[in-house]
Amino acid sequence: MKVLIVDDEINIQKVLKDIITDNGWTTFVAESTEEAWKVLEKEFIDVMLLDVFLKDEKEGIDFLKKVRAFFDFPPEIIMITGHGSIDMAVEALKNGAYDFIEKPPSIERLVVTVSHAAESLRLKRESLYIRDQDTPIIGRSRHLESIISLIAKVAPTGGNVLITGESGSGKELVAKSIHLNSLRKDGPFVIVNSAAIPEDLVEAELFGYEKGAFTNALKMKRGKFELADSGTLFFDEIGDMSLKTQSKILRAIQEKKVERVGGEETLNVNARIIAATNKNIEEMMKGGKFREDLYYRLNVVKIELKPLRERTEDIVPLFEYYVDRFSKEYGKPVRHIDASILERIVKMPWKGNIRELKNFAERAVIFSGPNGINPGRDDEGPGEERPAETFNEAKDDFEREYIKRALSGNGYNISKTARALGMDRSNLFKKIRSLGINIEDCKDSG
């Protein structure tokens, strides 16, 4: 964590710096708001201790407003003063200060406040961080066991990693697992969707830009490299990245330095690089579509993920995991999964890999009833081709299944079902007839 102390009293600076440093946090010191601004432009500060009275009365309050208005991810700001008042504290908090502490602060109070401020900021920057429970690697195949073993070996080293495999095979999960098992686990995990960045916005997205660098650049914005500092930068589907973009990121990876668009300062960035692709990079290099020097920079360690159809032992555990997850999410406890369904899904090709299996499990939970899992219509199976539906046909299918479930849940009582759906009883009757729902047949099948 990086803490910036802004105070013009040398003795207070020393006291605060000693407390912050003793707790293992990186400390920066500035005697004025001008010095502080230069630090903020170069460093991704997490918490700032800001004196209210500097050169002018309430200069700290004005600087608080400026910082919160200018930066895309401003630090949490703790105001400190030896001449505090209730009105001043209220004004500081109203303008976005995290807390207000009087000088001289107690060590315990300061440490607790800074720690809580850092956690508050982490929640605000939640998109940059991941949690263990977000990244389960589910399965029992030998292939998956070898992948997990490889992750355990490579994660602590900090070396760059290239992950290959078909779309939906779990490349991002592997990347997240590497991050969470590394020395950078408390740092950010920043994803770059390589195929989604327009060519003219590559530098702005990856390296950031200064306020006024171009039209609509209304505030400074940090790029992906800077956001990933002290953490991991994950390039998803890097095989889709243009040669021009490849050359730009190669320099940043080699030198660990970037410059924001419109800026003059060179920024040091320390991010571990993990890249993933569903393409054959070696073939792309032969065809001149991927830079050889970038490939060798990324390919320190290579992890190859097999498609789901080649590790069938993982299918049932994955299906059961997603059924449990969606049953909790939708409040539909699934008490039974028929063995015939498990046999059926193991034999399917799963062209979309884990992503397709996940969608199938979600649909199975949605259509589940008192008798357990129901993957949908009898003529549908995962991975099977079926005639395309029109929008109205798909809408009717959804409404038909939705009303059937509502009828079942309300004992096939029309009045009770209508109330549950927020519909007029006569309108529900009309809808049942128009959708061809036979209530007696529903009762028999239920």
Please tell me the total number of residues recorded for the chain in this structure.
446
Query: CATH topology of 2-124 equal to that of 387-446?
Result: no
pLDDT at 83 over 80: no
Q: What is the DSSP annotation of 135-183?
A: -------HHHHHHHHHHHHHGGG---EEEE--TTSSHHHHHHHHHHTST
Return the pLDDT at 392: 67
Q: How many CA atoms lie within 13 A of 134 on its CB side?
A: 11
Domain boundaries, given as residue ranges, for the chain: 2-124, 132-306, 310-384, 387-446
Average pLDDT, the chain: 87
Which two tokens mark 167?
A: 């779309």
At 334-354, the pLDDT tens digits run 878 888 889 989 999 999 999
Query: Among 220-229, 258-267, 306-315, 403-412, which range has the highest average pLDDT?
Result: 306-315
What lies within 8 Å, CB to CB, of 193 at 6+ separation is 236, 237
**pTM of structure:** 0.71
Residue in the block written with tokens 């079902």 = 417
Query: Among 233-247, 364-378, 419-433, which range has the highest average pLDDT?
Result: 233-247
Highest CATH level, class, for 132-306: alpha beta
Residue 80, SS3? Answer: strand
At 400-433, the pLDDT tens digits run 888 888 888 777 888 888 888 878 887 888 888 8
pLDDT grade for 84, boundaries at 50, 70 and 90? low
Highest CATH level, class, for 2-124: alpha beta
CATH H-level, domain 387-446: superfamily: Homeodomain-like (1.10.10.60)
Q: Which residues pair with 78 in a beta bridge?
A: 49, 99
Residue in the block written with tokens 């315990």 = 108
CATH fold of 310-384 reads Helicase, Ruva Protein; domain 3 (1.10.8)
Orientation of helix 142-154 relative to helix 171-180, angle to 10°: 40
Reported for 359-365, long-range contacts at CB under 8 A and 24+ positions apart, including other chains, are: 360/319, 361/318, 361/319, 361/322, 361/323, 361/326, 362/322, 362/326, 364/323, 365/323, 365/326, 365/327, 365/330, 365/332, 365/334
